Amino acid sequence: MNAKADAAQAVLAVKARLGLTWAAIAEALDRPVVWTTSALLGQHPVPAEVAAKAGELLELTAEQVRALVSQPTRGAMGTAVPVDPTIYRFYEVLQVYGPTIKELIHERFGDGIMSAINFRMSVDRVEDPAGDRVVVTLDGKFLPYQW
């Protein structure tokens, strides 16, 4: 686990030094950018060949590449309630709209959940004359409660 955090630190440092963007790294690895970012930050195991490419691109040690490949123990917020304002706003969305999301999932699908495992997401910038907008799309398979 520490090994994965160390690899993430290294990724961030090299990325800053080389002036790379996550978009560029994702393209170089031929993976979606959200997946790439979270995998290199240690929240997903990276397939060996992708990790090797990342190791070259980001000048990682063999040990850091091995850490990228390894299975993570996930969970990256540090505290139960996030304090960083950029992350907190998403927690606030849950506080204000959580029961609404629940009502509408049940109305449209019945009893069940949106999977966070069979799941993909995107973070986009949408231009808007009144100020550009952050659009985050959460897209997960519906899983019905099934005995």
Q: Which residues are catalytic?
A: 89, 92, 115
**Shortest approach of its own copies to residue 127 CB, angstroms?**
10
Q: What is the DSSP letter of 111?
A: S
* CA 63 to centroid of chain Cα atoms: 23
66 binds its own copies (CB under 8 A): yes
Distance of alpha carbon 29 from alpha carbon 33, whole angstroms: 9
**Shortest approach of its own copies to residue 61 CB, angstroms?**
14
Helix (H) or strand (E) holding 46: none
For 12, 79, 131, the CA distances from 15, given in Å and listed in that order, are: 5, 26, 29
77 binds its own copies (CB under 8 A): yes
Q: Which of residues 19-38 bind its own copies (CB under 8 A)?
A: 21-23, 32-35, 37-38
Residue found under tokens 């930050």:
41
Contacting its own copies (CB under 8 A), which of 19, 30, 117, 129?
Answer: 117
Yes or no: say if 44 and 105 are a contact pair by the CB < 8 Å rule.
Answer: no
Yes or no: say if 50 and 29 are a contact pair by the CB < 8 Å rule.
Answer: yes
**Shortest approach of its own copies to residue 84 CB, angstroms?**
5
**Shortest approach of its own copies to residue 56 CB, angstroms?**
21
Task: Write the binding mask 36 to 65 for its own copies: x where contact by CB under 8 A, - elsewhere.
Answer: -xx--x-xxx--------------------
Structure token pair of residue 27? 């393209």
Choice between 49 and 92, CB closer to its own copies: 92
